[in-house]
Amino acid sequence: MCIGHAAVGFASKAAAPRASLGVLLAAPFLLDLLWPVFILTGVESASIEPGNTAFTPIAFDSTPWSHSLLMAVLWGALFGFLVHIVSRSVLAGGVVALGVVSHWICDAVVHRPDLPLTPNGTIFVGMGLWNSRAGTLALELPLFALGVWLYLRTTKPKDATGRWALAGLIAFFLVAYAGTAFGPPPPNMTVVGWTGIAGLILIPWAAWVDAHRDLVDEMA
């Protein structure tokens, strides 16, 4: 899944309003931020097979450390704990932990059965919505709209940056998503890996957006 994860991040603001959108978006993307690191270092493997699914040509050959259910829960607990320590908010830590685990659940809807339950397990999960490009878009686009709507309902721009940096962030997600859905397959996994790592820019971008927005409740 792609912008479905962003939907969870935006929607999380309604659950943990005091947490920054940067952290709230990092959580549901965490597994996909670890994945390119594991791919580039050879810890995990994936390959490009055009036609593998209708939506993406990337085959997850072996991704036990980033994309097993058990590791998703452990990464979620670790990230949630760190956020709890830094923010002194149990709520923020809990929402972030759930955000990390939501990645695996959302991925289980779209992936082929290639997501292991445990790192060395032999049971693989995946409902395969990626086999239908139209089906994937029909699920993810409304989810993304719902998440953004919840964020807009929870926050208000303090200034022009709060409005336009957010518009830019939303546009970036949509353009990147269109590229994934309709663009040509990537040339190789090294490019995929570095593109994934470049996605880290979204975290400071989202934090910047959030710093220029107020909570609606506080303004009333």
The contact set with Zn ion (CB under 5 A) reads: 32, 107
CB of residue 142 vs Zn ion: minimum separation in angstroms? 20
Distance of closest approach, residue 149 Cβ to Zn ion, in angstroms: 24
Report how far residue 33's alpha carbon sits from residue 180's, in angstroms, rounded to the nearest whole number. 16
CB-based burial label for 183 (10 Å; 0-12, 13-18, 19+): exposed
Residue 83, CA distances (Å) to 69, 77, 199, 205 in order: 21, 10, 20, 18
Indicate the residue among 147 and 162 with the shorter CB distance to Zn ion.
147
Shortest distance in whole angstroms from residue 144 CB to Zn ion: 16
Least distance to Zn ion from the beta carbon of 85, Å?
Answer: 26
Tokens of 144: 């993304």
Task: Give the tokens for residue 146.
Answer: 């719902």
Give the span between the Cα atoms of 117 and 107, in whole angstroms. 12
**Which residue, 32 or 214, is less far from Zn ion as judged by CB?**
32
Residue closer to Zn ion by CB (options 20, 56) is 56
For Zn ion, give the closer residue by CB, 40 or 91: 40
Residue 20 or residue 66: which is nearer to Zn ion going by CB?
66
Q: How far is the CB of 18 from Zn ion (least distance, A)?
A: 27
Note the Cα 161 to chain centre separation in Å: 23
Pair 105, 126: CB distance under 8 Å? no
